[in-house]
């Protein structure tokens, strides 16, 4: 007779409010690449367009398991703080920025 473990219940917690669905999808995929299972939770109400986004100030949120919340928040913070790498071979424009 095998002893099966009962499924462990964990809460989903919101870690970041997102302005639109594209950003939500991008961050969800980014967290998945880092080993964190995440989901997008829309605040939108069908047939009401962007009324809820205007009222709440965001499209929805990213939610993760409670055990991953601290790491997910840190990864999202690092994601937004990151600067794109520049290609040294790219010619600079008139402002000195790589083109």
Query: Does 36 or 89 have the greater pLDDT score?
Result: 36
- pLDDT, average across residues 2-13: 74
Are residues 92 and 99 in contact, defined by beta-carbon separation less than 8 angstroms? Answer: yes
Closest CA to 16 of 33, 32, 35, 38: 38
Q: What is the pLDDT of residues 70-81, one digit of tens each?
A: 999 999 999 999
Question: Considering its fold, how many domains does the chain have in total?
Answer: 1
Q: What is the pLDDT of residues 11-40, one digit of tens each?
A: 999 999 998 889 999 999 999 999 999 999
**pLDDT band with cut points at 50, 70 and 90 for residue 1:** very low
Residue 77 counted as domain residue: yes
Number of other residues whose CB lies within 10 A of the CB of residue 18: 22
Q: Residues near 12 by Cβ (< 8 Å), separated by ≥ 6? A: 39, 63, 64, 65, 66
Residue 95 counted as domain residue: no
The enclosing domain of 49 has a CATH number of 3.30.70.1530
Residue 93 counted as domain residue: no
Give me the domain span that covers residue 55. 12-81
Residue 20 counted as domain residue: yes
Residue 99 counted as domain residue: no
Q: pTM for the full model?
A: 0.69
């Amino acid at each position: 007779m095998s002893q099966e473990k009962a499924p462990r219940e964990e809460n989903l917690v919101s870690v970041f409010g997102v302005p639109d669905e594209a950003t939500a999808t991008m961050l969800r995929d980014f967290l998945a690449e880092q080993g964190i299972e995440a989901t997008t939770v829309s605040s939108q109400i069908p047939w009401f367009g962007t009324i809820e986004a205007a009222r709440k100030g965001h499209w929805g949120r990213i939610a993760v398991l409670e055990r991953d919340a601290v790491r997910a928040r840190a990864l999202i913070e690092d994601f937004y703080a990151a600067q794109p790498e520049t290609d040294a071979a790219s010619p600079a424009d008139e402002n000195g920025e790589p083109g």
